[in-house]
Chain A
Amino acid sequence: MITTTMWAATWPRTAGIGMSSWLLNALLAGLAIAVVAGPLGSFVVWRRMAYFGDALAHASLLGIGLGLILGLPSGLTVVIVAALVALLLVALQGQRQLASDTLLGIISHGTLSIGVIMVTLVSEQSLPIESYLFGDILSVTEQDVLRLWALSIAALVLITVIWRPLLAATVHEDLARVEGVPVERVRLIFVMLLALMIAMAMKIVGVLLIASLLLIPAAAARRVARTPEQMAVLAAGLSCVAVVLGLGAALRWDLPAGPAVVAAAVMLFVLLFALTSRIMNTNKSY
């Protein structure tokens, strides 16, 4: 269904000023997301929330669909829908009717399907569905880049502020609560940041792959990190490398940008895994 010719058609063929400016926009946008994905993704894996991230990402397509149907800016509706779904998931955490992976599966695939239907229904005014599912880096404007970096810096500041209490709550929620950490408030800020980051990343990697941008660099960083902070910073660094490599490969070989970035992240993960397990093996043989 998704052919290479379709993707190839999306990449400008001509070199020159035009090309370097869209490439720069794409790169800057990707990096803005990567630096936030590192620390947020670390918390996602520490808190075992991979499915939560996936459900939020899928729900953001519902936001796109609503935006198209209601004629509202999609950035806004995506943030609102993702935030509402995040709140719903947090509120349903205490319920015992459904296991949490079942609940997340229902919300994740339900919102994705309804989102796809909505976007398809209004397809004349929208981009092809693939650009939402896998990202559409060409649609990133200079204005987008400015907005992404403003949001990215604001998000990083907030993460720094909630870092210690969120980490304490991640390690042991009740213990943190007894020690005076406002656990609910900190968690709320965290899931709102996650919703925001997902809305930001939609154009770059698309709803199907956003969660992987949270998980893979963090998992790769764990191989070498000794402290939580090292892991977050390393994950951000690896995300940036994946963005540069992925966009480079996409440009060079006419590949879809979002999947290329994720594939680059996977390659970094495999590389780090192989390198560190070899070091560990050599240490053992002494």
Chain B
Amino acid sequence: MTQSTDILVSVSNVSKHFDNRRVLDRVDLTLRAGQIVTLIGPNGSGKTSLVRLVLGLSKADHGTVSRQAGLRVGYMPQRLSVAPILPLTVSRFLALGGVTDQQAHRHQLQAVGAAELIGAPVQALSGGELQRVLLARALLRRPQLLVLDEPTQGVDAQGQSSLYRLIGQIREQTGCGVLMVSHDLHLVMAATDEVVCLNHHVCCSGHPSAVVKAPEYQALFGTESSLAIYAHHHDHNHDVGGDVAADCGHRHE
């Protein structure tokens, strides 16, 4: 299951700065085929920066990011802002990803539960509809790795759990690896194989059942973890450089 050939992307000892602020500090992350990894952490904790490194959209200052040769990545961005003056239907939007076959668009939209949207202008989609269309575009590429940046943004609670179920089904059917950024901790716990808690550095990581027993996790999210509503209580101080000022002893609460 965890042979090295299954490794899609491996991030090791990576650091990244923006304007002298350290956003990522010696981060390790391994993404494998058939595995769902969820990144959690407060706003500004470096989740998006880490995702951009994995996607190859930016480069690390230190450390290495190695990707399997010829890896096909399906990316579902956080949002889409298309000027209203651009006439663009959902079908045409899907075609821009490289797959122009209308029949394939129809099948894929059906699979994500958005079949009726095929002719709709992308600017008219609601939050939940847009997420499904973005997911359809990512899936059309038959990705080996699916990267989802806050896939449930602007989606109501019911829609969120059905979206997570859908992502789980996709993993079952295609065997792709999934990297997901999320805020909805309680929903994510059921749907993920590994949780990585990021706050510039990796605070704790592992299988949800193991992580919930970890003192770091309990310190972060409380002991009644299955009901935990995500809030990052942050008691160690970061200095201006983004370094943890007191050597990270992980007393988060």
Contacts and interface: CB of A to CB of B under 8 A. Distances in A.
B85 A171 contact: no
Given A179-B98, A179-B141, A174 B57 contact: yes
A178 B83 contact: no
A230 interface: yes
A116 to B, nearest CB: 32
Given A179-B98, A227-B92, A228-B92, A171 B86 contact: yes
Chain B interface size, as a band, is 20 to 34
Interface in A42-95: 45-48
A175 B85 contact: no
Given A171-B80, A175-B75, A178-B73, A227 B93 contact: no
Nearest to B86: A46
A171 B96 contact: yes
Contact of B55 (A178, A218, A226, A230): A178
Interface residues of A, number: 26
A47 to B, nearest CB: 8
A30 B148 CA distance: 48
B92 A174 contact: no
A230 B89 CA distance: 13
B88 A171 contact: yes
Contacts of B55: 174, 178
A177 B56 CA distance: 9
24 contacts: A45-B83, A45-B85, A46-B85, A47-B83, A167-B96, A168-B97, A171-B80, A171-B86, A172-B82, A174-B75, A175-B77, A178-B57, A178-B75, A180-B98, A218-B85, A222-B85, A222-B87, A225-B87, A226-B89, A227-B87, A227-B88, A228-B86, A228-B87, A230-B87
